[in-house]
C-alpha cells in the first residue's frame, strides 16, 4: 500500500503576521512594564497617544517595510556570496564582511544589515576553521559604527533627526567625524585580530533565489519615501509606500517584523511613565541644567543601563542638544550587549556558545575609545 504523505500547507497571512507577536519576549516585557507603571503613575489613556512621536514611528515603519523588501529580494546576499567565493585570505574576508556591514547599516538600518550579513557568515561554518563567532562580533560592532552616520541608520538617529529638524545632509555631516574615526578604529582592529592565512570558500548560489525586480521596486520606493520624510511628511510617505507595496509586492508585508513597531511605541509609553515617577522626575527635571559633559555621560551611561533607544527617548524630552545626544547614545551602543538592540540580534543569530562573554572583551574597549573620541570631537569642533 503506497505511503500517504500529508500535503504541505502554507501558513495563512494572518498566522504569519500574528505569530511573531506571540514570541517576542521584549515586547511582552515592555507591555508588562507599561501595565505596572500605569498603576504606579496613573494617567488618562489619551495621554499615551500624545507621548508617542508618530513622525518617528511613521518613518521607522516605512523604512522597515522597504528595507525588508530589499532584504527579501535576496540580491544583496547573492552579491555577497559571489564576492566571498573570490576571497582567498581570512583577513580579506573579515575586512569585506566588516565593511559590508558598515556600509549597509548606513542605508538599511543596523538590524537589516545584520539579517543580510550574519547568515552569510554563519554559512561559512566549517570552512578552513574560520572564527565565525569573532566575525559576528565584529559585524555587530560594524553596524553600530556605520549606522551612526546617517539619520536612517538606527532608531535613535531617526528620533533625533525628526526632533532636530535638520536636513538629511546636515544631520549626516555632523556625524561624519565620529563615524570616520570609529570606522578607522574598527578596520585597524579587524586587521590585527584576523590573520592573513589562506582560505577557500564555496558558498552555493542559485540564480532563482533572488529577484532584481523586487530590489529595483523597493529601492525606488525607498528613495521616494526618504524624499517625503525630508519634506516633513513621513505619514503621507508611509501611506504612499503602503499602497505601492500592496499593488506591486504585497508578499513582503507578511515578512516585516511588525513587532518592532509596537516595541518602539511601548518604549515611548514606558519611558514617559517612568519619568513621571516621583523619584525619577526629581532627576530628569535637572537634565535641562546639565553641562555638556553631564549630558554626554548621561547618554553614554543611560545606553548601558536601558539601551540607547530608550535613553534617547528619555533625554530628548528635556534637552535640545541633539548633537551631544547623538554622539553619546551612538557611542553608548558599544559596551554592554544591551547598549544596542543590534548587539543582541547579532549574538542571537549565531549558534556558537559562550559568544556573549567574548563579545564584551571587544565591545568594552570600543566603548571607552569611542566615548573619548566623541567627547574630543564635541569639544574641538
Q: Distance between CA atoms of 140 and 328, rounded to whole angstroms?
A: 18
260 part of a folded domain: yes
Read off the pTM: 0.89
Task: Give the structural domain span for 340.
Answer: 47-198+208-380
Q: For residue range 202-218, what is the model confidence (pLDDT) as tens digits?
A: 777 777 778 899 999 99
What's the farthest any 2 CA atoms get from each other in the chain?
82
Whether 42 is in a domain gets the answer no
State yes or no: pLDDT of 347 exceeds 80: yes
3-class secondary-structure state, position 318: coil
Domain count along the chain: 1
The answer, yes or no, to whether residue 368 has pLDDT greater than 60, is: yes
Which residue do the cell numbers 574597549 mark? 365
What grid cell was written down for 129? 576553521
- What share of the chain has pLDDT > 70, as a percent? 94
The x, y and z cell numbers of residue 42, run together, are 496613573
34 occurs within a structural domain? no
Read off the pLDDT of residues 213-233 as tens digits, 9 standing for 90 and up.
999 999 999 999 999 999 989
pLDDT interval class at 250 (50, 70, 90): confident
pLDDT at position 1 is 45
Which cell is 301 given?
551611561
Q: Which of 125-139, 156-170, 174-188, 319-333 has the lowest mean pLDDT?
A: 125-139
In a domain, 351, yes or no: yes
Q: For residue 205, give the nearest of 74, 78, 120, 72 by alpha carbon.
A: 78
pLDDT digits (tens, 9 = 90+) for 171-206: 999 999 999 999 999 999 999 999 988 887 777 777
- pLDDT (0 to 100) of residue 237: 94
Whole-angstrom distance, CA of residue 262 vs CA of residue 349: 22
User: CA-CA distance, 303 to 239, in Å (whole number)?
Assistant: 33
Which pLDDT score is estimated for 84? 86
Return the pLDDT at 182: 97
pLDDT at 372 over 80: yes
- Segment 241-245 mean pLDDT: 92
For 287-306, the pLDDT digits (tens) are 999 999 999 999 999 999 99
Examine residue 120 and state whether it is found in any structural domain, yes or no.
yes
- The contacts of residue 360 (CB under 8 Å, 6+ apart) are 335, 336, 337
337 pLDDT higher than 60: yes
Let me know if residue 361 belongs to a domain.
Answer: yes
For 260-280, how does the pLDDT look when each residue is reduced to its tens digit (9 = 90+)? Answer: 899 899 999 999 898 888 788
Segment 76-100 shows an average pLDDT of 89
Assess if residue 1 is contained within a domain.
Answer: no
Looking at the chain, the whole-number percentage of residues with pLDDT higher than 90 is 57
At residue 85, the pLDDT reads 83
Count CA within 13 A, CB hemisphere, residue 11: 11
User: What pLDDT sits at residue 276?
Assistant: 83
Residue 203 maps to a domain: no
- What residues form DSSP beta bridges with 89? 198
Asked if the model's pLDDT at residue 18 lies above 80, the reply is: no
Amino acid at each position: 500500500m503506497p505511503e500517504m504523505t500529508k500535503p504541505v500547507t502554507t501558513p495563512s497571512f494572518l498566522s504569519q503576521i500574528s505569530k511573531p507577536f506571540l514570541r517576542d519576549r521584549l515586547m511582552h516585557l515592555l507591555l508588562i512594564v507599561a501595565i505596572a507603571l500605569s498603576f504606579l503613575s496613573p494617567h488618562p489613556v489619551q495621554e499615551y497617544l500624545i507621548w508617542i512621536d508618530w513622525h518617528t514611528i511613521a518613518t521607522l515603519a516605512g523604512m522597515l517595510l522597504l528595507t525588508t523588501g530589499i532584504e527579501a529580494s535576496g540580491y544583496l546576499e547573492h552579491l555577497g556570496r559571489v564576492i566571498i567565493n573570490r576571497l582567498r585570505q581570512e583577513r580579506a574576508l573579515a575586512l569585506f564582511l566588516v565593511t559590508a556591514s558598515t556600509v549597509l547599516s548606513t542605508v538599511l538600518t543596523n538590524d537589516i544589515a545584520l539579517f543580510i550579513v550574519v547568515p552569510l557568515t554563519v554559512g561559512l561554518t566549517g570552512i578552513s576553521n574560520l572564527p565565525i563567532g569573532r566575525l559576528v562580533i565584529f559585524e555587530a560592532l560594524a553596524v553600530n559604527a556605520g549606522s551612526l552616520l546617517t539619520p536612517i541608520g538606527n532608531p535613535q538617529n531617526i528620533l533625533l533627526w525628526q526632533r532636530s529638524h535638520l536636513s538629511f545632509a546636515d544631520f549626516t555631516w555632523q556625524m561624519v567625524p565620529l563615524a570616520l574615526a570609529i570606522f578607522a578604529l574598527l578596520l585597524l582592529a579587524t586587521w590585527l585580530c584576523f590573520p592573513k592565512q589562506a582560505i577557500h570558500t564555496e558558498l552555493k548560489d542559485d540564480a532563482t533565489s533572488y529577484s532584481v525586480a523586487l530590489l529595483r521596486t523597493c529601492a525606488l520606493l525607498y528613495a521616494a519615501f526618504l524624499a517625503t520624510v525630508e519634506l516633513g511628511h513621513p505619514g503621507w510617505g508611509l501611506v504612499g509606500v503602503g499602497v505601492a507595496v500592496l499593488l506591486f509586492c504585497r508578499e513582503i508585508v507578511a515578512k516585516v517584523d511588525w513587532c518592532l513597531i509596537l516595541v518602539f511605541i511601548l518604549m515611548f509609553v514606558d519611558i514617559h511613565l517612568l519619568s513621571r515617577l516621583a523619584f525619577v522626575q526629581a532627576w530628569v527635571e535637572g537634565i535641562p541644567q546639565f553641562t555638556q559633559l553631564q549630558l554626554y555621560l548621561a547618554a553614554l551611561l543611560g545606553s548601558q543601563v536601558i539601551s540607547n533607544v530608550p535613553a534617547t527617548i528619555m533625554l530628548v524630552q528635556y534637552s535640545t542638544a541633539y548633537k551631544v545626544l547623538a554622539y553619546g547614545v551612538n557611542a553608548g551602543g558599544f559596551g554592554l550587549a544591551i547598549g544596542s538592540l543590534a548587539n543582541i540580534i547579532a549574538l542571537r543569530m549565531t549558534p556558537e556558545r559562550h559568544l556573549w562573554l567574548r563579545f564584551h572583551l571587544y565591545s568594552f574597549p570600543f566603548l571607552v575609545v569611542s566615548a573619548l573620541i566623541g567627547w574630543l570631537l564635541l569639544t574641538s569642533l
